Chains A and B, each alone.
Chain A
């Protein structure tokens, strides 16, 4: 139990309509609660005040309400968060009280104590939300309304009836930007926390893929919640089909790497230090086949996202000289920042990447020339920008094991920290590809670190295998990707492999520089990953 839980006295037992006032009355307690949540974005800013911007009672078996809370800061724009709340008698809410980050306050009402908590943690609230989808309800709120929508996909799940028999409602791990509830392993409700005016890209893209394309390697859109108010419409949540029993791509890849590095240790060539590519293919064979499929799925996704030239939100557009200049500026900013960080770190004692850092810093001047040259060459060919995934890596795909390997792509929100307009902006699809390539590299190192531990000799022996695995996986992935795009006539991906390679190296360089900053600040032991990439890109 959290000792510092605020206490509040109520003249009568709580009900759904009154919860907003109770939450508003928490004052600084509410601010503290929000700051402790993983999904609260602006931890670095000073909160000036928190208020309840809108609320609607949610018909549920417990008193419950959907709230929007506005967080004002001492400087800058306020932020709006969604917060479903509910209350139960304290005696019936022990488990909720003990779950970290769930309880908001204790309420003393006549006859008994109540616990006020984040409703998303309560299966009864989850069920109530599902029923609102089923009824396509519109819950009147003080300033507007919460509109629930259902699509034909929900009827597919509920066998065409209006009520889905529900056995199990469970919450799954909280994410950076949302909280999720799973219904009977068939549907998942993703409740967005930070809200923006306009359609969330997750809703926009999920709707587009579900109803306007034949792409079926993403969850289907079964419903969504919008807050409707004169100030604008905001996406509060999406209800999608759930893919049960699937491993995320990162976990699956690490599992494959565990086997791979284990087999390498037992392989006669494993001790020699120089892996023969054929040996890599033999050792990583089934993973390579799966990755080719992942490349195809990525390509099919990009083809689907670019399939409607008549829809302004999705129509592919040619990359302009302004876009190229922006790409160049973005890469250079990241690289400059990364190198500056390196320079500072290099002066600090104790890093054992001294020679690499030295080489990189010496090459610093050449970097900008190389980037400018690459952008100049890309400017000579016709490139396209389209809607993309936006935050594509192994953690965003699920591997569905079956007769044939397949993958489901998740999370079309883009990077939650960026503004909505930037997340909806069209980009080169190859930026997604670069994100996935970098993710393979990260996994290959994570597996290596896990296999070798602190044993320097073991690392030295495995490193060539890591490099060979990374290369073989990238080749397979790109083979699948290009097969599903350029070779099937999708003109949006340049037909010339050298142009694809050039664009990928620009995007990978930008990504690696970003990683460099991240690892310098958070995880110095993983610095070799971006360092190796930078060295390779710059040496090329």
Chain B
């Protein structure tokens, strides 16, 4: 494996909807030509890899996760040629691009399903899972309990039941059929040939079904995924697979295999616990979750996020934790959705700039690769009255111009209204204004991203939590090939002192890398720091410079008899 093939371990990801970013043709819907025009901005922001939400033709009954054709681009977003131009331009700027791919199911509008429905002897019949008996696989849970009553739906045309783990308009593909497995590899090869750098694979635990099991995480699924990875590595080295499996880390762990399945997987339970930790001013929700996070192979990486295109999911929380989260972050009933909270980062944090920075700092220094959700870098707001999760998918706010500078179309024609309330409205919150303001959130984000990229240890290093007596302080060491970083966060709304036990590094000098200040060297006693409300430090532990060595006499530590000169 070439060294650069591990690029994803150092990368900052940026999640973006094509429809929401920039509308180049003035039809009210963002498109690939628009995204291409905004690559300069993304380069300026400093992210490394874009994650594109589903871009395929779709009846859009599940926001594009119901794919009706794997081989083209939704006409609203442009053409494959536009997509190819976008990839070329991104690569020219050193940016990589991964895209969503739904392997588990298709839309019922997909030609495969339409052919399968019509005739039992169609070669496509076995692309899906059919049964005369809706009692099979009874142990599989129903995921969308609000809308679906069974995982089987009667098809009046096919005169059989078909299997679906999600919506009934999303029939599951039959991965026991070798032609389906081959077809899915063909699909991936098609896009990889265009230059795509990988896939974010949706809903991977459900590919196979077996009687007497819950039909999730089956060994057959892993066998197939390993074969897929092998073929990917042979033909397209350096391209990655990112797994979406909304499960506990210990259950996600098998998807890394022995470093021969997925390159990356989302770490779902950390995210709500970061919010919990800040609200309760207690680091333990965060440190505890890492005791439940197993080590992963050297060539694998966790993916962390604060917010994404879905609701802030609380599935990986206990009932008590969930109640606490609703109480703390969703006082408005309208903000609740399914088992989660449909809000963006800034509104969740009461638009408190200090908290936004603090959470971003934690995200950027955790042992994995961070994902920024588009718009969160400028503190965009949401509109929880738009229904479903549309409130966090409003047009990107580029400027104070009409339609937030997103589109030249009539406002009524936009796929979604722009945010125009007095607090988060585009006249107040937009890229243009923040670029002009040196201390803006956007410029702070740029500085954090640039700094993170200077220290490989933040992407690749080990993590060791320090356990100071003050629970309001979250402090940890990241270490990679001799590079040692100390990260300290104050989770509290008040200034806090902390004493960190760093005696084993005595003599080294913490350098605050965001500002460049050299702090007093570490000594033989616990190291004392004070942090302002929601304050944070990123230290690099430097060997002492000659002048610093001269000012401190360490001899007393060796003999244990002297008096500390401090």
In the complex, residue of chain A having the shortest beta-carbon distance to the beta carbon of B112: A160
Report whether A159 and B72 are in contact in the complex, using a CB–CB cutoff of 8 Å.
no
Report whether A136 and B80 are in contact in the complex, using a CB–CB cutoff of 8 Å.
yes
B27 proximal to A (CB < 8 A):
yes
Residues of B within 8 A of A228 (CB): 81
Residues of B within 8 A of A159 (CB): 111-112, 115, 124
Report whether B194 and A136 are in contact in the complex, using a CB–CB cutoff of 8 Å.
yes
Shortest CB-to-CB span from A222 to chain B, Å, is 10
Report whether B27 and A311 are in contact in the complex, using a CB–CB cutoff of 8 Å.
yes
In the complex, residue of chain B having the shortest beta-carbon distance to the beta carbon of A311: B27
Counting chain B CB atoms within 10 Å of each CB, which of A147, A160, A162, A312 scores highest?
A160
In the complex, residue of chain A having the shortest beta-carbon distance to the beta carbon of B193: A135
A156 proximal to B (CB < 8 A):
yes
Shortest CB-to-CB span from A148 to chain B, Å, is 8
In the complex, residue of chain A having the shortest beta-carbon distance to the beta carbon of B123: A159
Report whether A156 and B28 are in contact in the complex, using a CB–CB cutoff of 8 Å.
no
B5-45 contacts to A, CB under 8 A, are: 26-28
- Scan A150-169; emit 1 where CB is below 8 A from any B CB, else 0: 11101110111110000000
Shortest CB-to-CB span from A405 to chain B, Å, is 26
Give the docked Cα–Cα distance between A136 and B69 (Å): 14
In the complex, residue of chain B having the shortest beta-carbon distance to the beta carbon of A211: B75
A310 proximal to B (CB < 8 A):
yes
**What's the interface size class on B, roughly?**
20 to 34
Residues of B within 8 A of A312 (CB): 26
Residues of B within 8 A of A154 (CB): 71-72
Give the docked Cα–Cα distance between A207 and B78 (Å): 11
Q: A160-B69, A162-B186, A310-B27 are in contact. Are A149 and B75 (CB under 8 A)?
A: no
Q: A159-B124, A160-B69, A162-B71 are in contact. Are A149 and B80 (CB under 8 A)?
A: yes
Pick the contact of A155 from B81, B84, B111, B194 — CB < 8 Å?
Answer: B111
Q: Would you call the interface of chain A mostly helix, strand, loop, or mixed? A: mixed
- Scan B194-207; emit 1 where CB is below 8 A from any A CB, else 0: 10000000000000
Q: A310-B27, A310-B409, A310-B410 are in contact. Are A138 and B186 (CB under 8 A)?
A: no
- Scan A133-152; emit 1 where CB is below 8 A from any B CB, else 0: 01110100000000101111
B77-123 contacts to A, CB under 8 A, are: 79-81, 84, 110-112, 115
Give the docked Cα–Cα distance between A147 and B82 (Å): 10
Pick the contact of B413 from A138, A150, A310 — CB < 8 Å?
Answer: A310
Give the docked Cα–Cα distance between A372 and B386 (Å): 56
Shortest CB-to-CB span from A40 to chain B, Å, is 29
Give the docked Cα–Cα distance between A135 and B190 (Å): 7
A98-118 contacts to B, CB under 8 A, are: none
Residues of B within 8 A of A226 (CB): 81
Shortest CB-to-CB span from B31 to chain A, Å, is 13
Report whether A152 and B69 are in contact in the complex, using a CB–CB cutoff of 8 Å.
yes
Pick the contact of A152 from B75, B115, B124, B183 — CB < 8 Å?
Answer: B75
Counting chain A CB atoms within 10 Å of each CB, which of B80, B115, B186 scores highest?
B80
Shortest CB-to-CB span from B230 to chain A, Å, is 21
Residues of B within 8 A of A149 (CB): 79-81
Give the docked Cα–Cα distance between A156 and B80 (Å): 17
Residues of B within 8 A of A160 (CB): 69-71, 110-112, 115, 124
Give the docked Cα–Cα distance between A310 and B80 (Å): 24
B443-498 contacts to A, CB under 8 A, are: none
Residues of B within 8 A of A311 (CB): 27
Give the docked Cα–Cα distance between A29 and B193 (Å): 40
Give the docked Cα–Cα distance between A151 and B71 (Å): 8
Give the docked Cα–Cα distance between A152 and B58 (Å): 9
B68 proximal to A (CB < 8 A):
yes
In the complex, residue of chain B having the shortest beta-carbon distance to the beta carbon of A151: B72
Give the docked Cα–Cα distance between A228 and B79 (Å): 14
Shortest CB-to-CB span from A56 to chain B, Å, is 15
In the complex, residue of chain B having the shortest beta-carbon distance to the beta carbon of A156: B111
Pick the contact of B84 from A138, A151, A152, A161 — CB < 8 Å?
Answer: A138
Give the docked Cα–Cα distance between A342 and B187 (Å): 65
Report whether B81 and A136 are in contact in the complex, using a CB–CB cutoff of 8 Å.
yes
Q: A150-B80, A152-B57 are in contact. Are A310 and B72 (CB under 8 A)?
A: no
Give the docked Cα–Cα distance between A154 and B72 (Å): 9
A353-396 contacts to B, CB under 8 A, are: none
Residues of B within 8 A of A152 (CB): 57, 68-69, 72, 75
Residues of A within 8 A of B80 (CB): 136, 149-150
- Scan B171-196; emit 1 where CB is below 8 A from any A CB, else 0: 00000000000010011001001100
Residues of B within 8 A of A211 (CB): 75
Give the docked Cα–Cα distance between A228 and B112 (Å): 33
Residues of B within 8 A of A151 (CB): 72, 75, 79
Give the docked Cα–Cα distance between A148 and B428 (Å): 43
- Scan B251-283; emit 1 where CB is below 8 A from any A CB, else 0: 000000000000000000000000000000000
In the complex, residue of chain A having the shortest beta-carbon distance to the beta carbon of B115: A159
Residues of B within 8 A of A136 (CB): 71-72, 80-81, 84, 190, 194
Residues of A within 8 A of B112 (CB): 159-160
24 interchain pairs (CB within 8 A)? A136-B84, A138-B84, A147-B84, A149-B80, A149-B81, A150-B71, A151-B72, A152-B68, A152-B72, A154-B72, A155-B57, A159-B111, A159-B112, A159-B124, A160-B69, A160-B70, A160-B110, A161-B186, A162-B186, A207-B75, A226-B81, A228-B81, A310-B409, A310-B413
Question: Which 7 pairs of residues, A with B, have the shortest CB-CB distance?
Answer: A160-B111, A152-B57, A136-B80, A155-B69, A211-B75, A152-B69, A147-B81
Known contacts A136-B80, A155-B72, A162-B187, then 20 further A-B pairs from the complex at CB < 8 Å, ordered by chain A residue: A136-B71, A136-B84, A138-B84, A147-B81, A149-B79, A149-B80, A150-B71, A150-B72, A151-B72, A154-B72, A155-B70, A155-B111, A160-B69, A160-B110, A161-B183, A162-B190, A226-B81, A228-B81, A310-B413, A311-B27
